[in-house]
Amino acid sequence: TMLNYSEFGTSSGAPALLIAHGLFGSGRNWSVIAKRLADQRRVITVDMRNHGDSPRADTQTYQDMADDLAEVIRYLGAPMDVCGHSMGGKASMMLALKHSDLVRRLIVADIAPVPYDHSQQEFIDAMRTVDLSSLTRRSDAQDQLAAAGVEPALQSFFTQSLDVVTKSWKLNLDVLEAAMPDIVGWPEDITGSFDGPAFFLSGATSHYVLPDYRPTIKRLFPKAYFAKIPKAGHWLHAENPRAFEAAVRTFLNSD
């Protein structure tokens, strides 16, 4: 079964843009940006496996996530431009390396092809503290996440993956927890390179894409360009959406 996806805009002369969200997200997080970019091109947002309305699976490896994205692109029409944030950025990089014929241009939002040592376990713990049975509205969950120490911006982000009607998370927390080493990691044995244009767009206050990582990035993505979004950290598309959108447009429309 294929990933759940949404389409915005209509096919113009430009290739379609596929957007892959990050951990604990869904395609919904990107709908505003997708609608705005859809004035010039067709835009597809997906729910990654174990997120949103996409199928549940036992693994969360980047090879598997890349194959999921490849299936959507082949179904809707290859090649596409691809934009991925965080976990979705790593999945998009893997897609470009494994299935280079499916990707025209690549945008990687605030992540590098390296293993990280931070875990996202604290957020899984926080989501598990929410008493789902008592929920009547989304704000109830935000209050409980606040009590668990989650900052306001992330409270609203996480609760976008809450189904208030069925009183459940649209996240397979058990598999995401078990697969955390894969999610924060990056396979050591990756070889080859993607020869298309690749845009590494980072938040100016984020520490996810360090100068030390540039040789690794350039080896895998020889046509890598780098830029920073001002007044933004790791959640750059949410913290400064207009600047993010403008940078994406410029890159996609450049020769």
Local structure of 43: helix, strand or coil: strand
Of the residues 21, 51, 99, 234, only one is catalytic, namely 234
Which has the closest alpha carbon to 34: 19, 21, 22? 19
Contact 73, 79 (CB under 8 A): yes
Of the residues 6, 26, 54, 86, only one is catalytic, namely 86
d(CA 2, CA 47) in angstroms, rounded, equals 10
For this structure, is 99 an active site residue? no
User: Residue 241 CA to chain centroid, in angstroms?
Assistant: 15
Of the residues 58, 125, 163, 174, only one is catalytic, namely 174
Instruction: Please state, as a whole number, how many other Cβ atoms lie within 10 Å of the Cβ of residue 83.
Output: 31
DSSP state of 213: G
Contact 102, 20 (CB under 8 A): no
For this structure, is 12 an active site residue? no
For this structure, is 118 an active site residue? no
Active-site residues, by number, are 86, 174, 234
